[in-house]
Amino acid sequence: MQEVLVGLQSSPPFISPKFFYDELGSKLFEAITLLDEYYPTRVEKSIMQLYAQEIANSVGGCDALIDLGAGNCAKASELFDTVKPTKYRAIDISKEFLELALADLQKRFPKIAMGSQICDLSEQLELPDLAGEKKLFFYPGSSIGNFDPHKASNFLKNIASLCNGNGGLLIGVDLKKDEKILNNAYDDSLGVTAAFNLNVLRHINRVIGSNFNASNWQHYAIFNKAQSRIEMYLRALQDVDIIWPNGMQRYKAGDLIHTENSYKYTQASFTEMLRDAGFKKIHTWTDANAYFLVCYASAIA
């Protein structure tokens, strides 16, 4: 709660993107991944399917598959037949959504020991019960782009240390490309991304007891070329007073609340980040248009 209040009263104000993912937000993001304009999920899947055997050969199997930001667990489940984990750990911030997805998945794969872990990936990850296992960390969808480069670097170092010289990280990364393609991906014609962004206000109302009304705000997304990132905001359509127990904040028409960054990398810059984090060998795959990159970063020299 305090994190939200600090953000709303900051200059400029912000809401952490982790608050997107209540149950409705998680379902809206699923819908975004089906949109024509939103290429990352579709292109990443095509890479994973086309190079499935090469990826499996690079990974060389694992004891435990650690699904970072698991969502509905669908992407990770497509790896079960190739990397053959004996354990699966689904990690996400949305408890209810995750547990429903995991219950369904366990029925389909009864021989894999499954568990969930509710965790904010912007904080240090710990897996003491899996210390001796060969772990494959899986972080698809270019979610790494939501971290600023310094925090992304710290995140990758944390994962490399958890591998402890064994296993590695399979990660999807969105690449730099034409601005029009990027802008359309984050401001689709059906308004699903707008609904996803606005839903954060509904979630915040529950968290801090505030009186946000989504009809007073609009979705706004823009590509910041200098920073190589998409920036998402909520823009006030009129002057509005946001009230919560023992506090309030006034926003004027046109004021922006920042909700998300999505950094875009080059293949060279991201592989360098992985090496700097401590990974030893890096295998890469991309699509014909070089829209998206899949990397397996091995902790084994």
State the DSSP code for 176: P
Q: In sequence order, what are the residues at sequence separation of 6 or more whose Cβ sits closer than 8 angstroms to the Cβ of residue 275?
A: 282
**β 247-251/240-244 pair status:** antiparallel
Q: What is the pLDDT of residues 247-260, one digit of tens each?
A: 999 999 999 999 99
Mean pLDDT, rounded, for 158-187: 96
Cα–Cα distance for residue pair 43/65, rounded to 1 Å: 22
Sign of dihedral through CA atoms 92, 97, 99, 101?
Answer: negative
Asked if residue 237 has pLDDT above 80, the reply is: yes
Sheet of 64-68, strand order:
113-118, 87-92, 64-68, 135-139, 167-174, 292-298, 281-286
Distance from chain centroid for Cα 208? 24
Give the pLDDT score at 82.
94
Q: How many helices (H) and strands (E) does the chain have?
A: 11, 12
Question: Residue 230 in contact with residue 261, Cβ under 8 Å?
Answer: yes
Cα–Cα distance for residue pair 29/194, rounded to 1 Å: 11
Cα–Cα distance for residue pair 198/183, rounded to 1 Å: 18
Question: Residue 212 in contact with residue 204, Cβ under 8 Å?
Answer: yes
Give the pLDDT score at 143.
94
Q: Where are the domains of the chain?
A: 2-29+179-263, 39-177+265-298
Asked if residue 173 has pLDDT above 80, the reply is: yes
In the chain, the percentage of residues whose pLDDT exceeds 90 is 89
Q: Band the pLDDT of 122: cuts 50, 70, 90.
A: confident
Cα–Cα distance for residue pair 203/201, rounded to 1 Å: 5
Give the pLDDT score at 177.
96
Mean pLDDT, rounded, for 66-81: 93
Mean pLDDT, rounded, for 173-191: 97
Half-sphere exposure of 119 (CA within 13 A, CB side): 18
Rounded to whole angstroms, what are the CA distances from 131 to 26, 84, 108, 203?
30, 19, 27, 35
Q: What is the pLDDT of residues 268-301, one digit of tens each?
A: 999 999 999 999 999 999 999 999 999 999 998 7
Quote the pTM value. Answer: 0.92
Question: Residue 145 in contact with residue 44, Cβ under 8 Å?
Answer: no
Give the pLDDT score at 33.
93
| Low-confidence winner among 18-32, 222-236, 282-296 (lowest mean pLDDT) | 18-32
Correct CATH for 39-177+265-298 of 3.40.50.720, 1.10.3470.10, 3.40.50.150, 3.40.50.2000: 3.40.50.150
Mean pLDDT, the chain, whole residue set: 95
